[in-house]
Structure 1
Amino acid sequence: MSRRILVINPNSSAACTRGIATALAPLGAPPGLAFAVTQLPEGPPAIASWEDWHSVALPLCRLVEREPAAAYVIACVSDPGLEAVRAATPRPVLGMFRCAVAAAAARAERFAVIGFVAASEARQRRALQSMGLESRLAGWQALDLPMDVLTDPAAPRGRIAAAARSLAATGAGAIVLGCTGMAGHVAAAEDAAGIPVIEPCRAAGAMALLAALPAG
């Protein structure tokens, strides 16, 4: 069995993929196990609409079928294709949104989400409903910025900081960054909010390491 954790960015943004790899880099893996980060070349520039979300399910399944791994992570915070990919492999498949929410729920009774675009809210609320955690959502706010702006090291920080402050004021005890494109802006969000900020790449990476460990 392959001793890698395959982390798949379902969009075609190279900047986003680099950000995912950078976010995962500090996570230590045991000897013989490593993260491998890739992307779908045929994916949309970002998972913004429901059409984008549905369009990547089959390509994700095909990639997983031909690329063996100890575990898989779908590196989009709307968890596209999660159920389909789980049906395509017996290995663990994790979605970044669900992992980040689990981490937030472990830190605080109520949490909030900074979303990518307004259309993401319905998808993320559906996931929260499936987890039985929607009632613990204190607030949700979209940035509505293009992916190339979101992944810029400086351009979106004012918007992210403002959203973080606003969501902290709702009574949330933790904030989830609702897009992998925000991976480089954790410190800015946390400084502005004054509460823990959950970065989904690291949350999912940590859970994937546990899932990939051999039993016993």
Structure 2
Amino acid sequence: MSAAGRILVINPNSSLSCTQGIAAALAPFGALGRFEVVRLEDGPPAIASWRDWHSVAEPLCRRVEREDAAAYVIACVSDPGFEAVRATTRRPVLGMFRCAVAAALTRAERFGVIGFVAASEARQRLALRSMGVEERLVGWTPLDLPMEVLTDPEAPRSRIREAARALASTGAGAIVLGCTGMAGHVAAAEDAAGLAVIEPCAAAGAMALLATAPA
């Protein structure tokens, strides 16, 4: 695929099941034939700690420098390396968390987030502050499950439903899934909450297509 038509989606963790889930979430855009989903094979198993978050910034920059594309998507819902990658290329760079929040705010004034692990909250709040919308977050509930459990088709469903119901009770008008590992669980969260649930891979995919659309 030529760089003019390629949107490179980089999972900064090394999890194969997570990467497959990202690709599946982007599959509805497949007719456009523009997305290429890759992972950092030497990355951490998940972006769970600040150390994980910082450790992938330079590998992401090197990958972007090495591989030309029309746009780049950082496929982690903590948006690690976002500012560094933006400084590396003149092409559009999209963070999945920022895209998902923007999509949530088209559906409701206030939203909640189902987080990956408790440590993710500080990183996601940092992104919200950079967007100027932290005050519109009404609740943040972590699952605290390993990535390989989170990506299982059934194992995390009860926890996800419980978290979705809890966020709905806080007054959230929409819910953001705060990890790409939850991509296969949108329907479960929607059924439990009775609210719009924003899946970050799809949100970023749509915005990447918009960012690379002909003028």
After superposition, residues 1-216 of structure 1 pair within 5 angstroms as 2=3, 3-27=5-29, 30=32, 34-215=34-215
1:27, distance to aligned residue in structure 2 (A): 2.1
1:212, distance to aligned residue in structure 2 (A): 1.2
Amino acid at match of 2:77: V
- The Cα offsets for residues 30-56 of structure 1, whole Å up to 9 and x where unpaired, read as 4xx510000000100000000000000
1:93, distance to aligned residue in structure 2 (A): 0.3
SS at match of 2:64: helix
Amino acid at match of 2:37: V
1:214, distance to aligned residue in structure 2 (A): 2.5
SS at match of 2:106: helix
Provide the C-alpha distance between the structure 2 equivalents of 1:36 and 1:212, rounded to a whole number of angstroms. Answer: 14
CA contact (8 A) 1:173 1:195 kept: yes
The change in CA–CA distance for 1:94 and 1:29 in structure 2 (over 3 A counts) is farther
Provide the C-alpha distance between the structure 1 equivalents of 2:31 and 2:134, rounded to a whole number of angstroms. Answer: 32
Amino acid at match of 2:212: A
CA contact (8 A) 1:115 1:142 kept: yes
Provide the C-alpha distance between the structure 2 equivalents of 1:42 and 1:89, rounded to a whole number of angstroms. Answer: 22
Provide the C-alpha distance between the structure 2 equivalents of 1:63 and 1:89, rounded to a whole number of angstroms. Answer: 11
- The Cα offsets for residues 173-202 of structure 1, whole Å up to 9 and x where unpaired, read as 000000000000000000000000000000
1:213, distance to aligned residue in structure 2 (A): 1.5
CA contact (8 A) 1:141 1:163 kept: yes
TM-score, scaled to structure 2: 0.97
CA contact (8 A) 1:186 1:197 kept: yes
Provide the C-alpha distance between the structure 1 equivalents of 2:132 and 2:213, rounded to a whole number of angstroms. Answer: 27
Provide the C-alpha distance between the structure 1 equivalents of 2:89 and 2:31, rounded to a whole number of angstroms. Answer: 22
- The Cα offsets for residues 38-90 of structure 1, whole Å up to 9 and x where unpaired, read as 00001000000000000000000000001110000000000000000011111
**Which runs of 5 or more residues in structure 2 are unaligned?**
none
1:131, distance to aligned residue in structure 2 (A): 0.6
Runs of 4+ residues over 3 Å off in structure 1: none
SS at match of 2:35: strand
Amino acid at match of 1:168: A
Amino acid at match of 1:36: E
Provide the C-alpha distance between the structure 1 equivalents of 2:90 and 2:130, rounded to a whole number of angstroms. Answer: 21
Provide the C-alpha distance between the structure 2 equivalents of 1:152 and 1:178, rounded to a whole number of angstroms. Answer: 16
Aligned residues: 213
Provide the C-alpha distance between the structure 1 equivalents of 2:31 and 2:174, rounded to a whole number of angstroms. Answer: 26
1:28, distance to aligned residue in structure 2 (A): 5.3
Provide the C-alpha distance between the structure 2 equivalents of 1:210 and 1:69, rounded to a whole number of angstroms. Answer: 15
